[in-house]
Amino acid sequence: MTPRQSGSQRRVVRAPDLRVRSTLAGEAQAASAEVERELTVPEDPAAAAFFDVDNTIVQGASIYHLARGMYQRGFFGPREMAGALGKQVWFRLHGAENAGHVADARTAALSVIAGHTVAELQSLADEVFDEGMAYRIWPGTRALAQLHLDRGERVWLVTAAPIEIAEVIARRLGLTGAMGTVAEHVDGVYTGRLVGDLLHGEAKAVAVRSLVEDEGLDVTRCSAYSDSFNDLPLLGLVGHPCAVNPDRRLRRHAEQQGWPVRDYRVGRRAARLGVAAAGATGAVAVAAGALAARRRGS
Protein backbone atom coordinates (compact mmCIF):
# COMPACT_ATOMS: atom_id res chain seq x y z
CA MET A 1 0.00 0.00 0.00
CA THR A 2 1.37 3.43 -0.83
CA PRO A 3 0.80 6.52 1.30
CA ARG A 4 -2.09 8.80 0.39
CA GLN A 5 -1.23 11.98 -1.46
CA SER A 6 -1.18 14.94 0.89
CA GLY A 7 -3.95 16.71 -0.99
CA SER A 8 -6.24 13.74 -1.54
CA GLN A 9 -7.84 13.82 1.88
CA ARG A 10 -8.34 16.63 4.30
CA ARG A 11 -6.97 15.81 7.72
CA VAL A 12 -8.27 17.41 10.89
CA VAL A 13 -5.72 17.82 13.67
CA ARG A 14 -7.28 18.32 17.08
CA ALA A 15 -5.33 20.78 19.22
CA PRO A 16 -4.80 20.05 22.92
CA ASP A 17 -7.56 21.32 25.20
CA LEU A 18 -6.95 24.91 26.33
CA ARG A 19 -6.80 23.81 29.95
CA VAL A 20 -4.13 21.24 29.08
CA ARG A 21 -2.04 23.85 27.29
CA SER A 22 -2.43 26.29 30.18
CA THR A 23 -1.42 23.63 32.67
CA LEU A 24 1.66 22.77 30.61
CA ALA A 25 2.62 26.44 30.38
CA GLY A 26 2.33 26.84 34.13
CA GLU A 27 4.32 23.70 34.79
CA ALA A 28 7.03 24.91 32.44
CA GLN A 29 7.41 28.17 34.33
CA ALA A 30 7.45 26.44 37.70
CA ALA A 31 9.94 23.83 36.52
CA SER A 32 12.19 26.52 35.05
CA ALA A 33 12.22 28.39 38.34
CA GLU A 34 13.00 25.20 40.23
CA VAL A 35 15.88 24.32 37.94
CA GLU A 36 17.42 27.79 38.00
CA ARG A 37 17.25 27.83 41.80
CA GLU A 38 18.73 24.40 42.38
CA LEU A 39 21.12 23.86 39.48
CA THR A 40 23.74 26.59 39.33
CA VAL A 41 26.95 25.71 37.52
CA PRO A 42 29.31 28.30 36.00
CA GLU A 43 29.47 28.56 32.22
CA ASP A 44 32.05 26.20 30.76
CA PRO A 45 32.78 26.01 27.03
CA ALA A 46 34.13 22.46 27.45
CA ALA A 47 30.79 21.23 28.82
CA ALA A 48 27.76 19.82 27.02
CA ALA A 49 24.55 17.99 27.88
CA PHE A 50 23.11 14.81 26.38
CA PHE A 51 19.43 13.93 26.66
CA ASP A 52 17.61 10.67 25.97
CA VAL A 53 14.25 11.23 24.23
CA ASP A 54 11.61 8.64 25.10
CA ASN A 55 10.01 9.39 28.48
CA THR A 56 12.88 11.81 29.19
CA ILE A 57 12.08 14.62 26.73
CA VAL A 58 8.84 13.24 25.28
CA GLN A 59 6.01 11.48 27.11
CA GLY A 60 5.81 7.98 25.65
CA ALA A 61 7.82 6.42 22.86
CA SER A 62 8.57 8.64 19.87
CA ILE A 63 8.66 5.76 17.38
CA TYR A 64 5.02 4.96 18.14
CA HIS A 65 4.01 8.57 17.54
CA LEU A 66 5.79 8.24 14.20
CA ALA A 67 4.02 4.93 13.53
CA ARG A 68 0.66 6.59 14.18
CA GLY A 69 1.45 9.29 11.64
CA MET A 70 2.51 6.70 9.09
CA TYR A 71 -0.69 4.74 9.66
CA GLN A 72 -2.82 7.86 9.15
CA ARG A 73 -1.11 8.36 5.80
CA GLY A 74 -1.63 4.80 4.61
CA PHE A 75 1.89 3.43 5.07
CA PHE A 76 0.38 0.33 6.71
CA GLY A 77 -2.96 -1.04 7.90
CA PRO A 78 -5.07 -1.27 11.08
CA ARG A 79 -3.65 -4.59 12.22
CA GLU A 80 -0.09 -3.23 12.45
CA MET A 81 -1.33 -0.05 14.11
CA ALA A 82 -3.21 -2.02 16.77
CA GLY A 83 0.07 -3.68 17.73
CA ALA A 84 1.87 -0.33 17.88
CA LEU A 85 -0.84 1.16 20.10
CA GLY A 86 -0.69 -1.81 22.43
CA LYS A 87 3.04 -1.34 22.92
CA GLN A 88 2.54 2.40 23.49
CA VAL A 89 -0.01 1.67 26.21
CA TRP A 90 2.47 -0.74 27.84
CA PHE A 91 5.15 1.96 27.73
CA ARG A 92 2.85 4.56 29.30
CA LEU A 93 1.75 2.20 32.09
CA HIS A 94 5.21 0.90 32.98
CA GLY A 95 7.32 3.95 32.10
CA ALA A 96 10.14 1.74 30.83
CA GLU A 97 11.47 0.24 27.65
CA ASN A 98 10.81 -3.34 26.61
CA ALA A 99 13.61 -4.76 24.46
CA GLY A 100 11.20 -6.96 22.51
CA HIS A 101 8.91 -4.02 21.74
CA VAL A 102 11.84 -1.91 20.58
CA ALA A 103 13.10 -4.67 18.30
CA ASP A 104 9.62 -5.28 16.88
CA ALA A 105 9.15 -1.59 16.20
CA ARG A 106 12.52 -1.41 14.48
CA THR A 107 11.74 -4.35 12.21
CA ALA A 108 8.29 -3.05 11.36
CA ALA A 109 9.53 0.48 10.68
CA LEU A 110 12.32 -0.69 8.40
CA SER A 111 9.97 -2.85 6.34
CA VAL A 112 7.47 -0.01 6.03
CA ILE A 113 9.90 2.70 4.90
CA ALA A 114 11.78 0.51 2.38
CA GLY A 115 11.34 2.11 -1.03
CA HIS A 116 10.29 5.50 0.36
CA THR A 117 12.49 8.58 0.14
CA VAL A 118 14.41 10.35 2.88
CA ALA A 119 12.66 13.63 2.01
CA GLU A 120 9.28 11.93 2.44
CA LEU A 121 10.10 10.67 5.93
CA GLN A 122 11.65 13.97 6.99
CA SER A 123 8.50 15.80 5.98
CA LEU A 124 6.38 13.24 7.81
CA ALA A 125 8.48 13.63 10.97
CA ASP A 126 7.81 17.38 10.98
CA GLU A 127 4.07 16.79 10.71
CA VAL A 128 4.11 14.10 13.41
CA PHE A 129 5.84 16.47 15.82
CA ASP A 130 3.15 19.11 15.32
CA GLU A 131 0.27 16.65 15.52
CA GLY A 132 1.21 14.43 18.43
CA MET A 133 4.49 15.32 20.13
CA ALA A 134 4.78 19.08 20.66
CA TYR A 135 2.38 19.11 23.60
CA ARG A 136 3.89 15.91 25.04
CA ILE A 137 7.26 17.49 25.80
CA TRP A 138 7.99 17.26 29.52
CA PRO A 139 8.15 20.90 30.71
CA GLY A 140 10.68 20.13 33.44
CA THR A 141 13.11 18.39 31.09
CA ARG A 142 12.69 21.17 28.55
CA ALA A 143 13.66 23.65 31.27
CA LEU A 144 16.78 21.61 32.06
CA ALA A 145 17.86 21.63 28.42
CA GLN A 146 17.25 25.37 28.17
CA LEU A 147 19.35 26.02 31.27
CA HIS A 148 22.32 24.30 29.63
CA LEU A 149 21.80 26.39 26.50
CA ASP A 150 21.57 29.58 28.55
CA ARG A 151 24.92 28.76 30.13
CA GLY A 152 26.46 28.60 26.68
CA GLU A 153 26.66 24.80 26.60
CA ARG A 154 25.72 22.68 23.61
CA VAL A 155 22.86 20.19 23.96
CA TRP A 156 22.40 16.99 21.96
CA LEU A 157 19.66 14.38 21.91
CA VAL A 158 20.92 10.78 21.99
CA THR A 159 18.20 8.27 21.18
CA ALA A 160 17.37 4.90 19.67
CA ALA A 161 14.58 6.65 17.76
CA PRO A 162 15.06 7.23 14.02
CA ILE A 163 17.44 10.11 13.34
CA GLU A 164 14.77 11.82 11.24
CA ILE A 165 12.42 12.28 14.20
CA ALA A 166 15.30 13.03 16.61
CA GLU A 167 16.52 15.85 14.37
CA VAL A 168 13.03 17.37 14.20
CA ILE A 169 12.70 17.37 18.01
CA ALA A 170 16.15 18.93 18.41
CA ARG A 171 15.43 21.61 15.83
CA ARG A 172 12.01 22.49 17.24
CA LEU A 173 13.40 22.78 20.78
CA GLY A 174 16.36 24.87 19.64
CA LEU A 175 18.96 22.30 20.64
CA THR A 176 22.39 21.84 19.09
CA GLY A 177 21.69 18.56 17.33
CA ALA A 178 20.74 14.90 17.62
CA MET A 179 22.14 11.42 17.32
CA GLY A 180 19.74 8.59 16.51
CA THR A 181 19.31 5.28 14.73
CA VAL A 182 20.18 5.58 11.04
CA ALA A 183 18.32 3.68 8.34
CA GLU A 184 20.36 2.93 5.23
CA HIS A 185 19.42 4.78 2.06
CA VAL A 186 20.86 4.77 -1.44
CA ASP A 187 20.30 7.75 -3.74
CA GLY A 188 17.82 9.12 -1.21
CA VAL A 189 15.71 5.92 -1.06
CA TYR A 190 15.54 3.65 2.01
CA THR A 191 16.77 0.08 1.56
CA GLY A 192 15.03 -1.45 4.60
CA ARG A 193 18.32 -2.01 6.46
CA LEU A 194 20.08 -0.19 9.27
CA VAL A 195 23.48 1.45 9.20
CA GLY A 196 25.00 -0.45 12.11
CA ASP A 197 22.39 -1.14 14.79
CA LEU A 198 20.03 0.72 17.09
CA LEU A 199 21.61 3.61 18.99
CA HIS A 200 20.78 1.91 22.25
CA GLY A 201 22.58 1.03 25.49
CA GLU A 202 26.35 0.89 25.04
CA ALA A 203 26.03 2.30 21.51
CA LYS A 204 24.94 5.63 23.00
CA ALA A 205 28.09 5.83 25.10
CA VAL A 206 30.22 5.02 22.05
CA ALA A 207 28.55 7.78 20.03
CA VAL A 208 28.97 10.34 22.82
CA ARG A 209 32.63 9.43 23.36
CA SER A 210 33.25 10.04 19.67
CA LEU A 211 31.42 13.36 19.75
CA VAL A 212 33.27 14.47 22.88
CA GLU A 213 36.58 13.82 21.14
CA ASP A 214 35.52 15.53 17.90
CA GLU A 215 34.17 18.61 19.69
CA GLY A 216 36.99 18.95 22.22
CA LEU A 217 34.70 18.52 25.23
CA ASP A 218 35.70 17.45 28.72
CA VAL A 219 33.49 14.46 29.52
CA THR A 220 33.88 15.05 33.26
CA ARG A 221 32.17 18.43 32.81
CA CYS A 222 29.35 17.04 30.68
CA SER A 223 25.85 16.07 31.81
CA ALA A 224 23.50 13.28 30.73
CA TYR A 225 19.81 12.71 31.36
CA SER A 226 17.78 9.53 30.91
CA ASP A 227 14.82 7.60 32.28
CA SER A 228 16.16 4.14 31.49
CA PHE A 229 18.45 1.69 33.24
CA ASN A 230 19.55 0.68 29.73
CA ASP A 231 21.34 4.04 29.48
CA LEU A 232 23.73 3.39 32.37
CA PRO A 233 26.72 3.29 29.96
CA LEU A 234 25.91 6.88 28.91
CA LEU A 235 25.06 8.11 32.40
CA GLY A 236 28.19 6.56 33.84
CA LEU A 237 30.35 8.17 31.18
CA VAL A 238 29.74 11.80 32.13
CA GLY A 239 30.64 13.79 35.21
CA HIS A 240 27.07 14.89 35.89
CA PRO A 241 24.48 12.13 35.35
CA CYS A 242 20.83 12.69 36.21
CA ALA A 243 17.88 10.30 36.27
CA VAL A 244 14.70 11.84 34.80
CA ASN A 245 11.34 10.07 35.22
CA PRO A 246 13.41 6.96 35.99
CA ASP A 247 12.33 3.36 35.73
CA ARG A 248 12.58 1.32 38.94
CA ARG A 249 16.08 -0.03 38.36
CA LEU A 250 17.53 3.33 37.36
CA ARG A 251 15.97 5.05 40.37
CA ARG A 252 17.51 2.49 42.70
CA HIS A 253 20.92 2.82 41.04
CA ALA A 254 20.77 6.64 41.05
CA GLU A 255 19.92 6.72 44.74
CA GLN A 256 22.78 4.33 45.54
CA GLN A 257 25.21 6.48 43.56
CA GLY A 258 23.92 9.78 44.92
CA TRP A 259 22.84 11.00 41.47
CA PRO A 260 20.10 13.61 41.27
CA VAL A 261 16.65 12.27 40.42
CA ARG A 262 14.00 14.45 38.79
CA ASP A 263 10.56 12.92 38.39
CA TYR A 264 8.09 15.14 36.59
CA ARG A 265 5.41 12.45 36.81
CA VAL A 266 4.86 12.91 40.56
CA GLY A 267 1.23 13.69 41.32
CA ARG A 268 0.10 12.65 37.86
CA ARG A 269 -0.36 8.91 38.32
CA ALA A 270 -4.14 9.05 38.01
CA ALA A 271 -3.89 11.26 34.94
CA ARG A 272 -1.32 8.97 33.33
CA LEU A 273 -3.42 5.91 34.01
CA GLY A 274 -6.40 7.68 32.50
CA VAL A 275 -4.45 8.48 29.34
CA ALA A 276 -3.18 4.92 29.17
CA ALA A 277 -6.69 3.58 29.59
CA ALA A 278 -7.87 5.83 26.78
CA GLY A 279 -5.00 4.56 24.66
CA ALA A 280 -5.97 0.98 25.46
CA THR A 281 -9.53 1.71 24.40
CA GLY A 282 -8.22 3.14 21.15
CA ALA A 283 -6.07 0.08 20.55
CA VAL A 284 -9.06 -2.20 21.11
CA ALA A 285 -11.15 -0.11 18.73
CA VAL A 286 -8.50 -0.27 16.02
CA ALA A 287 -8.10 -4.01 16.49
CA ALA A 288 -11.87 -4.48 16.30
CA GLY A 289 -11.99 -2.42 13.14
CA ALA A 290 -9.23 -4.50 11.58
CA LEU A 291 -11.07 -7.73 12.48
CA ALA A 292 -14.31 -6.43 11.00
CA ALA A 293 -12.53 -5.41 7.81
CA ARG A 294 -11.00 -8.87 7.46
CA ARG A 295 -14.39 -10.47 8.00
CA ARG A 296 -16.01 -8.28 5.36
CA GLY A 297 -13.25 -9.20 2.94
CA SER A 298 -13.63 -12.95 3.55
Domain boundaries, the chain: 45-297
Question: Is the separation of the CB atoms in 151 and 41 below 8 Å?
Answer: yes
Structural class in CATH, domain 45-297: alpha beta
What is the secondary structure of 120-160 as a DSSP string?
HHHHHHHHHIIIIIGGGB-HHHHHHHHHHHHTT-EEEEEEE
Residue 52 a catalytic site member: yes
What is the rounded CA–CA span in Å between residue 205 and residue 238?
9
Specify the DSSP element, H or E, that contains 100. Answer: helix 99-113
d(CA 298, CA 220): 63
| Residue 169 near residue 62, CB atoms below 8 Å | yes
State the pTM of this model: 0.70
**How far apart, in Å, are the Cα atoms of 100 and each of 63, 68, 90, 91?**
14, 19, 12, 12
* Bridge partner list, 156: 50, 177
What's residue 82's pLDDT? 53
Q: Is 54 a catalytic residue?
A: yes
The catalytic residue among 17, 44, 52, 187 is 52
CB of 277 within 8 A of CB of 255? Answer: no
Q: Which run of H or of E encompasses 205?
A: helix 202-215
pLDDT tens for the 298 residues of the chain, in order: 444 443 333 333 344 454 444 444 444 444 544 554 455 444 678 999 999 999 999 998 888 788 788 778 777 666 655 554 544 444 444 445 555 555 555 566 666 777 788 898 888 889 989 988 999 999 999 999 999 999 999 999 999 888 889 999 999 999 999 999 888 888 988 888 888 778 889 999 999 999 999 999 999 999 999 999 999 999 999 999 999 999 999 999 999 999 999 999 875 443 444 444 334 333 333 333 333 333 334 4
Reduced to 3 states (helix: H, G, I; strand: E, B; else coil), residue 17 is: coil
The active-site residue, picked from 17, 54, 197, 263, is: 54
